[in-house]
Structure 1
Amino acid sequence: MVGKKRIPSPDQLRDYNYAVAGHAGTLCDADGELFIKPCTQTEIDFYQEVETKGYRDFAEIMPLYMGELQLSSTDDVPLQDALMGVISGDGDFKTTKEQIAATIAEAVDQTTWVPTQGKKIKTDKSVVLENASYGYKKANILDVKLGVRLWADDAPAEKKTRFDTISSQTTHGKLGFRISGMRVYQGSEDESTLDEEGYKIYDKDFGRLSVNNDNVVDAFRKFIFNKAAGVHTALGRAVCSAFVRDLQRIEEVLTSHETRMYSSSLLFIFEGDGAALDAAIEKNNEIMDRQSAESYTCPPVSRTNMSLDSRMDSGIALEPEDDYDYEDNDEDDDELRLPQIYTLKLIDFAHANFTPNQGPDENVLLGVRSLLRIFKEMAGEDD
């Protein structure tokens, strides 16, 4: 199992958070397994509706929802200051996952979120989610904002106009998505362009100003294929094939539900260290083979063939099968836990609702289908 990762300070979290969860001020618990993300009541309602109405297929494509944290509205202090008893502001994160869960259970103060009409959101509400990037040695992270139309019905006219301009001037207009930000381990041969952890950071201007309909595939190749980090062509294609399978599943789920989501994103994550990625796949295969030999219920993975270093090898976890209960096997946890290889989640639901009798969200599905074509191309499935 990957060791405990270093948790950045709140300032560092804000610096790279665009590529992790898309929201400034997101904080982590001590182990980095959870995110505490300031949000609107609409987002909380969406997560709760998925949970209470039993939309299991929809829940599978979202980050794991752990609960909500609501602070007293009479305390008139910033969220980060109010959380000092839970998470220290100096970056020394002391709170455990269990303590955060207890805090959530004890948080009973209710407040009503008022639309900000385009102003900066001020809220005492937070949603607590599983950190999708937890457990990777060097996580490559890509945030792709979905849709041609980016504004909800209640958005002010000025915001609608501004977002329509962004859509028309970027890949949103034709492809239904835009690269919102990404970070790539060893993503440049020029070390001066890398941050202190060895990442090449692409901010929001990359997707707005540098990426267009003609070079968009090359932009995604920068994210996946990286000889400097050991992610060679065969390994990169295997990752793309895994993302293709998950994109197909997301398309299936979104087609089967009637929703409207504006400015939601897809979060792509995979192990960016080629040696660690190869080792994770090998360990994944060993665990699967051992479980099969011992007639255990297989963890949520399936097998696919892929070429690695001129040999055939079993590949990346793709489709969920029967659940495996790690809670009852604590002593074997290190041996049985599947290593992190890749993750794809639908995120950001500040403007999301279930809309009965209105049909699937074709605005979002356009972006998903465009991404599906691109990842198929990169996987070599169109060869």
Structure 2
Amino acid sequence: MGKDDTEVVTARPFIHQVGGRAVMLEISPGTICKLYNDREFQFYENIPEYLKEFTPHYKGLVSVKCNYDDATPTFRAEVPGYILRNSRGDPSCQHESRAKLKEVKTGLANWSMLCIKRDIKSRGVWSDHDYIMLENLVGSLRMPCILDLKIGTKQTGDDTSEEDKKLREHRSANSTSGTLGIRLSGMHMYQMESDNYLSHNKHYGWTLDEAGLRQVLRQFFYNCCITNVRREVTRIISKLHRLHSILSTQDLHYFFGSSLLLFYDGYKNNRPCDGQLNDANAFSAANTDQSAEDLNEYSSCDQKGDRREERSCVKEHCRTECSCETGKADIRLIDFGRTVLKSDMKERSYGVEFEEGVLFGLANLINILQSIIDS
């Protein structure tokens, strides 16, 4: 079988899509596909080498057809055989895929299916489309924890009408996009205590003020008794510094509407070893009279008052004494449907202003994450 052969497979709504307007489907454990957009396609076809570390691996185009069974859309993708063979030949992908099928938890907000229903309602029918195939960034993670942050102080591009631009700019100015250059676009986080997911969408993100967004970021990383949180967040800070440096010097693109995806494996990072569970349970039993606020302070490692020393012992044990395997936290830039070449940008001054807002957002995110691990 050559590289040009194809195989028809079922494409399912991607259960770990947490934001965005474009529908995303999963066609194999290591590959997802995103509704075709010409600007995004051109970006991935000509992506600069220095950005590949910070973007999903691009795998080409795939044709997806839609059928209706009792008014429910089903998708079939004509996938290149070599992509499927690569997934099937990887034992770790097969193991993780089987594990995830058995362990899909409640609380996952299926944003991809909501996008499909929205589009069907507006168009009346779902048409066949080309899709862009991309690396499934969380395909090997057992319990993916994902945070989608919209980057920049402005959320309009060169293709936005004046009326729409005024509306969006007003909304952005009155959100954390305007004050911090970052805004929650979507999140889901596996919680070990309840064995399910906590999900937030972009509508929740619009309601957050600076303090609320900071709390969500803290909660995302201090998710129960997470091991090596300092190391994981430090790794992300280091990558953010490199990304900030690249975006401040590159002279090819304006990344209108792009987002930053932060992710880690909640199963590996958040599953304490027996020693941690025993210590945490003992601590909880000894302090059952604490208020919800006090317990929340403990969960974010913000110790105060007479219990400071006792809590610090538990916290340090969780970080240094456990030999559990730890999943790595990572980041990627995503969403390039409105990315434009600087050479094609007519309103150059607006593009420069937007670029400064992106760098402002990255700098603020770095400062917030640093304050989280320093507290």
TM range (shorter): 0.5 to 0.7
The alpha-carbon distance between structure 1 residues 100 and 149, as it changes in their structure 2 partners (threshold 3 A), is: farther
Name the counterpart of 2:261. 267
Query: CA 1:340–1:64 in structure 2 vs 1: closer, same or farther (change >3 Å)?
Result: farther
Equivalent position of 1:84 in the other structure? 76
Instruction: Tell me, in whole angstroms, the C-alpha distance in 2 between the residues paired with 1:96 and 1:29.
Output: 13
State the Cα distance separating 1:311 from its structure 2 match.
Answer: 3.9
The equivalent of 1:168 in structure 2 is 173
Q: Cα distance 1:86–1:148, how it changes in 2: closer, same or farther (>3 A)?
A: same
Displacement of 1:314 in angstroms is 11
1:344 aligns with 2:331: yes
Q: Counterparts of 1:145 and 1:203 in 2: how far apart (Å)?
A: 12
Q: How many residues of Structure 1 are paired with residues of Structure 2 in the alignment?
A: 278
Equivalent residue of 2:210, what SS?
coil
- Deviation per CA, 1:75-111, whole angstroms, max 9, x where unpaired? 9989x97952538xxxxxx98724799xxxxxxxxxx
CA contact (8 A) 1:271 1:277 kept: no
CA change 1:207–1:95 in 2 (3 A) is: farther
Task: Tell me the equivalent position of 1:114.
Answer: none
Taking only the aligned residue pairs, the percentage that are identical comes to 22
User: In structure 2, what is the equivalent of residue 129 of structure 1?
Assistant: 134
| 1:370 matched to 2:332 | no
**Bigger Cα Rg:** 2
Distance 1:9 1:38, change over 3 A: closer
Match of 2:292 in 1: none
Higher helix share: 2
Per-residue deviation, 1:310: 6.3
| Residue of structure 2 equivalent to 1:238 | 231
Is the partner of 1:86 in helix, strand or coil?
Answer: strand
Name the SS for the 2:76 alignment partner. Answer: coil
What letter is aligned with 1:198?
A: N
State how 1:59-138 maps to structure 2 within 5 Å. 59-69=52-62, 84-86=76-78, 97-98=83-84, 124-138=129-143
Q: Going by fraction, where is strand more abundant, 1 or 2?
A: 2
Gaps of 5+ in 2: 1-9, 88-121, 274-315
Q: RMSD over aligned Cα, in angstroms?
A: 3.9
Give the gaps of 5 or more residues in structure 1.
1-7, 88-93, 102-118, 192-196, 280-306, 316-337
- 1:252 & 1:278 partners in 2: Cα distance? 36
> Does structure 2 retain, via aligned residues, the 8 Å contact 1:40–1:123?
no
Q: Distance in 1 between matches of 2:143 and 2:267?
A: 6
8 Å CA contact 2:183–2:213 kept in 1: the answer is: no
Letter matched to residue 331 of structure 2: L
1:158 partner amino acid: E
In the TM superposition, residue 251 of structure 1 has moved relative to its aligned partner by 0.5
Report whether the alignment pairs 1:48 with 2:48: no
Give 1:148's aligned residue. 153
- Determine whether 1:26 maps to 2:24: yes
Deviations 1:45-74 (A, max 9, x none): 111121xxxx21112111111112357xxx
Confirm or deny: 8 A CA contact 2:240 2:362 kept in the other structure.
yes
1:253 aligns with 2:246: yes
- The question of whether the paired residues in 1 share the 8 Å contact of 2:11 and 2:75 is answered with no
Q: Answer yes or no: is the 8 Å Cα contact 1:67–1:127 preserved in 2.
A: yes
Judge conservation of contact 2:182–2:361 (CA < 8 Å) in 1.
yes
Can you list the C-alpha shifts for 1:272-310, whole angstroms capped at 9, x where unaligned? 13557789xxxxxxxxxxxxxxxxxxxxxxxxxxx7646
Distance change >3 Å, CA 274–CA 340, structure 1 → 2: closer
Q: 1:251 to 1:275 in 2, by over 3 A?
A: closer
1:57 aligns with 2:50: yes
CA–CA distance in 2 between the matches of 1:254 and 1:314?
38
Residues 135 and 339 in structure 1, CA contact (< 8 A), matched pair in contact too: no
Distance in 1 between the 2:230 and 2:86 partners? 39
For the 8 Å contact 1:138–1:185, the answer to whether it is kept is yes
Code of the residue aligned with 2:12 in structure 1: it is P
Shift of 1:351: 0.7
